[in-house]
Amino acid sequence: MIIILMGVSGCGKTTIGRQLALEQGLPFFDADDFHPKANIKKMKNNLALSDSDRLPWLNTLAEKIFEWENNEGAVLACSALKESYRTILASRHSNILWVFLSGTFEVISERLRKRTSHYMKDTLLQSQFDTLEVPKYGLYVNIENSIDDIIKRISSKLKQMNQSVFGIIGLGVMGKSLSLNMAEKGFNVSVYNRADNGEAQVVSDFLEDNHALKNISGFTELQQFVASLATPRKILIMIKAGKAIDIVIDQLIPFLTKGDIIIDGGNSHYKDTAKRVDYLASKELHFVGCGISGGEEGARKGPSMMPGGSRESYQSIAPILEAISAKDKTGKPCCTYIGPESAGHFVKMIHNGMEYAEMQLLAEVYAIMKISMENEKIAEILSEWRSTDLSSYLLEITIDIFLKKEGNQYVLDSILDAAGNKGTGSWSSKAALDLGSVNNMMSSAVFARYLSSFKQIRQSLSSQLKKDSEAIEEPDIMALKNAYRFARIINHHQGFELLRLASIEYHWKLNLSEIARIWTNGCIIRSDFMDQSVEIFKVYENYFEHQSIFKNLISSENSVKDCVSYSLKYRIPFDTFFASYNYWVSITTENLSANLIQAQRDYFGAHTYQKRDDVSGRYYHTNWLEK
Amino acid sequence: MIIILMGVSGCGKTTIGRQLALEQGLPFFDADDFHPKANIKKMKNNLALSDSDRLPWLNTLAEKIFEWENNEGAVLACSALKESYRTILASRHSNILWVFLSGTFEVISERLRKRTSHYMKDTLLQSQFDTLEVPKYGLYVNIENSIDDIIKRISSKLKQMNQSVFGIIGLGVMGKSLSLNMAEKGFNVSVYNRADNGEAQVVSDFLEDNHALKNISGFTELQQFVASLATPRKILIMIKAGKAIDIVIDQLIPFLTKGDIIIDGGNSHYKDTAKRVDYLASKELHFVGCGISGGEEGARKGPSMMPGGSRESYQSIAPILEAISAKDKTGKPCCTYIGPESAGHFVKMIHNGMEYAEMQLLAEVYAIMKISMENEKIAEILSEWRSTDLSSYLLEITIDIFLKKEGNQYVLDSILDAAGNKGTGSWSSKAALDLGSVNNMMSSAVFARYLSSFKQIRQSLSSQLKKDSEAIEEPDIMALKNAYRFARIINHHQGFELLRLASIEYHWKLNLSEIARIWTNGCIIRSDFMDQSVEIFKVYENYFEHQSIFKNLISSENSVKDCVSYSLKYRIPFDTFFASYNYWVSITTENLSANLIQAQRDYFGAHTYQKRDDVSGRYYHTNWLEK
């Protein structure tokens, strides 16, 4: 830290500077001591220095400032009356606290007159006042205050400047990446990681690996970590979702003060988040459930961020979150206030549910193609798709995957077909069930992962089936492309419909267009179609209201049927495509056969039913056994 | 209540009887006062009465007993030395407390000697002792105790006899039916219903409607209701699941004592039940979550009952539950101890989830048939199915439904195709998601109900589609029958697999064969296939291990494909059949395309993957972007 005390002669730069340096344990320098000989000579002869005389001196000082900062810092007394001088001084380093010692002509003139060793004419003082360009930044101090008060004022400002604007708990992959992202954007960041359970070196290793970033402070003691944060404190927790979050919250609370903000950046269940919001509100603290998508790379370079909680807390954290988030095509941050309570984590959960289905659709496209095509060929076809409206991040990485070799072998071919899951797909499906929303694509994608995990059972059962050895015809790629577009639209429709229903149910006032917008970059399901969706949701409630999309679905129906038939013929699991088709057919069928279900329910449970022709909605009961 | 004090002359029948009658507020009668004139004459002449002399007298007394009981009851002193006499006395009414006043010959002889007004020779007393057949029932009282003690003893027994063995809270359809079922089986039952919210008359109306059943006592005050129950108290709550259950529990607790048992017979969520078990255990009370299936008719005539909780509490309630439950083909009750904690409600929930899918399969069979067939024809085909292994309760009522007319119109055709649901289908689907179990049939059945509820949207969207007017070919009924059998097997497989997984996860030790057995009668999903399942689960862990069932599935696959293709051709929603097929194909496919999902997850999230050829299960990570 470099503190430069500036102002006209006689404002007290040296006196205050020496004492401040003493208190801060920093060396003190007087700028006048760095003048080249020619300048000293001129000054001795009472000749005024020109700006060109000052240039080498200012450059020397800029070098010195850089040097001091790389040591322990310094306090410098330097009149620095003009903005142009200050610009040169700050040219090698920007982390300077400018302290402008301000006083009236009369006060300073009076002081100068009292000095024995340093006499100055009023005319010279007047010329300094004329030259002075008051800085529009830094700390202003009125020199009529006592020196002690002035020192206190500067010390307090310094303490504040040394505090971090943001704290991050948990240096896992995501925590590290977000810390670096933030520090690189110029924010002072404090990081904390526990030192037990073999994690003793996590913080020190992280600091060492990133020693170039001076604005990261590391801690293994929670109290010191919290003390290093400027208030209202903004603390992002990046640890595994679950009970650990509650434990950390309870460890933090004793050190926090009213208005502090805890942000949970993990994939916590939205119902847990809702409870935590209430719990912390009872302690006058804010809790923000913030979905973060983009994986490690996104966290490092710019994720899509979905913070929910009080609007007040969002305003406080927005400058930082928006700075580190990805940017959309217009340059706006892929971070927006999602809504109150647990809205942020809910929206992130649905993002993941949609991601499950998007991934499964690609896996099924692969399943259809792989029985008759090599990986290279599949990659070629998908590359063609990528050049169209079907382009997406997931399609992009899938093409990379098909082409990736280790030695002569495709990596993909070596991978065990047993997919893992971390809960959010299942949570989304359950939320849909709770809300009466039909999200059969995401649930079928979850089931497909579960089914993949029963590898041994599949091996055992499949061995009992006769294998056909008939010749395999290639699938109709154009139909498959249409079906893929169709299924993706239905997936997006189901996902956004679920958000719309949740918004109504929980009174969240979600802005679907804004949600689509922050999903256009940084996150896993970014795509051309998501780009389009931003505009669609400005006008329409759902995709089906958009005429050309709805017509596209109608005209793709036969392609979907063709692909389903192909999957039947060759016995290829195609569940999530089936789900998209099933949803589409039912939602566009006027009369379903659910009247039978109502009759059955009335028969065995007297649940009653409504009639087609009775618009009053009256309920009827039939005694079915009466002849 | 009729109390008969019996024993030889001089045992104290009259003395004790008079005092007891006074205390109980009942009239006292002496049997000797009811002799016909001929008998009185004989006795006056010291002639012994023959049994044929006694017959008219005993018959008169039996009539009187019936008469007294229909009034307020009575205390009767009557020697009733022989079992045959007692049989006649009890012939018109069985609710008699027999009190045998028992003493030795010496004691009674001594007492008789002291009586002034009632002298009897020892020889006569001896002949009474010779005649006496000590009853094998009733209350024995030793006359050497004080009269006060004897009266106390009898009063205490009377109090106990007047108490109900079972209490039922909530006189909705199910509560009423179960109360009547229980009362008819001879149990004393207390019923309670709140008297507020317009329910003032519920209890009195119920008692009036069923005045023939003397062993039902009604209450609108909870404390009196509880006081009417013999300990340990057995209280069945039959009210709407949810918070109301907790409220009633908290209202009950102050009146209960250690070891009392609260039974929740509604469709409570199993996680709520688990909490309640713990809560009541902390108060030394038992909580039994008891699933009850069978609707109103089942509750009245014999439901399938699924009680879970402590084994100790089951033993206490078993005699009553087993008596009122349905009986299986061998006459055993369709009620068994399911398992600890919330196992009962969990099993009932899965029953309902399976029921959802069974109903939806029939709705889809109907959907396939209805585009080319009349209701009569459909009923005819289903009737043929019913005569085969496909027979089930749901199929049976469905046939009735197809044939039911009001005037000239089929009732079914008038019913709105918007199906309701009460949550258990959705809960089952969510439980499956939680447990990593693939139950896509029940979830697709739930989604089908949700879709049916969007009637207006379906009408609006369908109007935008062009309707084909091509001629419709009838479906292949044999294929449909095979597909229906196939889908039902998969549904049962998924349901029982979910129970098996839950049993492992929660350490419930569920007996799948016993569960199938109690589902063979009384409940909604009873069927021929359920009958078969009882034996299957005695031997196999799941249906797929049963060779002929597995072969049947293999050989039915083409039928399923034919039906799916038919549904595609005519655009008929067929989701739950699709789900059965999808599950089957995936679970019998050795290599799925989930390796792509694992690659994607490793690409964007460094989630790592396992390799096909590495049986060690090691996890690998690839740097996918590295060229």
For A3-57, write each residue's pLDDT tens digit: 999 999 999 999 999 999 999 889 999 999 999 999 999 888 878 889 999 999 9
Q: Which chain A residues are within 8 Å of B612, Cβ to Cβ?
A: 414-417
Query: What percent of chain B lies above the pLDDT cut of 70?
Result: 99
- pLDDT at site B420: 83
pLDDT class for A213, splitting at 50, 70, 90? Answer: confident
> How is residue A284 written in tokens?
């006058």
Nearest Cα residue in chain A from B437: A450
Is a pLDDT exceeding 80 seen at residue B627?
Answer: no
- Superfamily designation of domain B2-160: P-loop containing nucleotide triphosphate hydrolases (3.40.50.300)
- pLDDT at site B237: 98
- pLDDT at site B299: 92
Angle at B584 between CA B578 and CA B586, to 5 degrees: 100
Q: Are the beta carbons of B624 and A412 separated by less than 8 Å?
A: no
When CB atoms are compared, the residue of A457, A586, A600 closest to B398 is: A600
Q: Are the beta carbons of B597 and A397 separated by less than 8 Å?
A: no
Q: Which chain A residues are within 8 Å of B304, Cβ to Cβ?
A: none
CATH 1.20.5.320 fits B590-627, yes or no: yes
Q: Are the beta carbons of A603 and B397 separated by less than 8 Å?
A: yes
DSSP letters for B360-416? HHHHHHHHHHHTT--HHHHHHHHHHHHTTTT-BHHHHHHHHHHH-EETTEEHHHHB-
When CB atoms are compared, the residue of B295, B571, B612 closest to A604 is: B295
Q: Are the beta carbons of A419 and B622 separated by less than 8 Å?
A: no
Mean pLDDT, chain B, integer: 94
Same fold: A2-160 with A164-341: yes
SS3 content of chain A, % helix, strand, coil (to 5): 55, 10, 35
- pLDDT at site B209: 95
Nearest Cα residue in chain A from B523: A604
Q: Which chain A residues are within 8 Å of B446, Cβ to Cβ?
A: 433
Is a pLDDT exceeding 60 seen at residue A299?
Answer: yes
Interface test with A, best of B356, B446, B593 (most A CBs within 10 A): B593
Q: Is A591 on the interface with B (CB under 8 A)?
A: yes
Calculate the alpha carbon distances from A115 to A30, A124, A213, B54 in Å.
Answer: 18, 15, 45, 143
Is a pLDDT exceeding 80 seen at residue B122?
Answer: no
Q: Are the beta carbons of A598 and B397 separated by less than 8 Å?
A: no
Question: Which pLDDT tens digit goes with each residue over B76-111?
Answer: 999 999 999 999 998 876 678 999 999 999 999 888
Q: Which chain A residues are within 8 Å of B568, Cβ to Cβ?
A: 561, 564-565
With tokens 């449909």, the residue in question is B480
Nearest Cα residue in chain B from A583: B451
Domain boundaries, chain A: 2-160, 164-341, 367-587, 590-627
Q: Are the beta carbons of B397 and A604 separated by less than 8 Å?
A: yes
Nearest Cα residue in chain A from B367: A593
- pLDDT at site A122: 78
Instruction: Report which of A233, A215, A232, A190 is spatially closest to residue A95, judged by C-alpha positions.
Output: A215
Instruction: Report which of A512, A571, A586, A579 is spatially closest to residue A546, judged by C-alpha positions.
Output: A512
Scanning A516-575 for CB atoms below 8 A from B yields: 524, 544, 550, 554, 561, 564-565, 568, 571-575
**Is beta strand B234-237 parallel, antiparallel or unpaired with respect to B166-169?**
parallel
Dist CA B128 CA B9 (whole Å): 8
What is the distance in angstroms between the Cα of A450 and the nearest Cα belonging to chain B? 6
Instruction: Report which of B286, B482, B493, B498 is spatially closest to residue B388, judged by C-alpha positions.
Output: B482
Dist CA B356 CA B500 (whole Å): 19
Answer yes or no: are the C-beta atoms of A6 and A100 closer than 8 Å. Answer: yes
Question: Which pLDDT tens digit goes with each residue over B281-305?
Answer: 999 999 999 999 988 889 999 999 9
Answer yes or no: are the C-beta atoms of B264 and B276 closer than 8 Å. Answer: yes
Catalytic position from the list B348, B358, B364, B497: B348
Is a pLDDT exceeding 80 seen at residue B120?
Answer: no
Dist CA B10 CA B82 (whole Å): 17
Mean pLDDT of B435-442: 97
Nearest Cα residue in chain B from A626: B404
Scanning B320-359 for CB atoms below 8 A from A yields: 359
pTM comes to 0.83
Nearest Cα residue in chain A from B595: A417
Concerning whether A69 is annotated as a catalytic residue, the answer is: no
Q: Which chain B residues are within 8 Å of A267, Cβ to Cβ?
A: none
Mean pLDDT of A259-271: 96
In one letter, which amino acid is A581? Y
pLDDT class for A159, splitting at 50, 70, 90? Answer: confident
Dihedral, CA of residue A349, residue A352, residue A354 and residue A360, to nearest 10: -150
**Is beta strand A304-308 parallel, antiparallel or unpaired with respect to A286-293?**
antiparallel
When CB atoms are compared, the residue of A296, A465, A578 closest to B578 is: A578
Is a pLDDT exceeding 90 seen at residue A313?
Answer: yes
Chain mean position to CA B130: 50
Answer yes or no: are the C-beta atoms of A339 and A308 closer than 8 Å. Answer: yes
Answer yes or no: are the C-beta atoms of A192 and A255 closer than 8 Å. Answer: no
Concerning whether A355 is annotated as a catalytic residue, the answer is: yes
Q: Are the beta carbons of A600 and B394 separated by less than 8 Å?
A: yes
Mean pLDDT of B354-372: 97
Residue B374, number of CB atoms within 10 A of its CB: 12
- pLDDT at site B296: 86
With tokens 């497989």, the residue in question is B493
Catalytic position from the list A355, A358, A364, A497: A355
Dist CA A560 CA A556 (whole Å): 6
Q: Are the beta carbons of B598 and A457 separated by less than 8 Å?
A: no
Dist CA B132 CA A153 (whole Å): 112
> How is residue B254 written in tokens?
């102050």
Mean pLDDT, chain A, integer: 94
Q: Which helix (H) or strand (E) holds A172?
A: none
Q: Is A594 on the interface with B (CB under 8 A)?
A: yes
Dist CA B426 CA B87 (whole Å): 58
Q: What is the CATH number of domain A367-587?
A: 1.10.1040.10
Question: Which pLDDT tens digit goes with each residue over A465-483?
Answer: 988 777 899 999 999 999 9
What is the distance in angstroms between the Cα of B450 and the nearest Cα belonging to chain A? 6
- pLDDT at site B501: 97
Answer yes or no: are the C-beta atoms of B370 and A594 closer than 8 Å. Answer: no
Is a pLDDT exceeding 80 seen at residue B395?
Answer: yes
Q: Which chain B residues are within 8 Å of A571, Cβ to Cβ?
A: 585, 589
Q: Is A585 on the interface with B (CB under 8 A)?
A: yes
Dist CA B550 CA B540 (whole Å): 12
**In B561-620, beta strands by DSSP E:** none
Question: Which pLDDT tens digit goes with each residue over A105-154?
Answer: 999 988 888 875 555 677 888 989 999 999 998 999 999 999 999 999 99
Catalytic position from the list B355, B358, B364, B497: B355
Residue B400, number of CB atoms within 10 A of its CB: 14
Mean pLDDT of A167-184: 95
When CB atoms are compared, the residue of A295, A359, A426 closest to B597 is: A359
ipTM > 0.90 (yes/no): no
Question: Which pLDDT tens digit goes with each residue over B551-580?
Answer: 999 999 999 999 999 999 999 999 999 999
When CB atoms are compared, the residue of B443, B450, B597 closest to A419 is: B597
Answer yes or no: are the C-beta atoms of B317 and B291 closer than 8 Å. Answer: no
When CB atoms are compared, the residue of B406, B452, B587 closest to A461 is: B587
Nearest Cα residue in chain A from B359: A597
Instruction: Tell me, letter by letter, the H, E, C secondary structure of A226-247.
Output: HHCECCCCEEEECCCCCHHHHH
- pLDDT at site B459: 96
Is a pLDDT exceeding 90 seen at residue A457?
Answer: yes
Scanning A353-412 for CB atoms below 8 A from B yields: 359-360, 362-364, 366-367, 370, 393-394, 397-398, 400-401, 404, 406, 411-412
Q: Are the beta carbons of A600 and B444 separated by less than 8 Å?
A: no
Mean pLDDT of B62-71: 87
Q: Domain B164-341: which CATH class? A: alpha beta
Scanning A423-482 for CB atoms below 8 A from B yields: 426, 429-430, 433-434, 436-438, 440, 443-444, 446-454, 457-459, 461-465
What is the distance in angstroms between the Cα of B281 and the nearest Cα belonging to chain A? 25
Is a pLDDT exceeding 80 seen at residue A102?
Answer: yes
Which is more confidently placed, A173 or A345?
Answer: A345
First CA to last CA distance, chain B? 96
Is a pLDDT exceeding 80 seen at residue A190?
Answer: yes
> How is residue B326 written in tokens?
């349905």
Interface test with B, best of A417, A493, A546, A556 (most B CBs within 10 A): A417
When CB atoms are compared, the residue of A411, A415, A451 closest to B587 is: A451
- pLDDT at site A259: 94
> How is residue A418 written in tokens?
């047993």
- pLDDT at site B92: 79
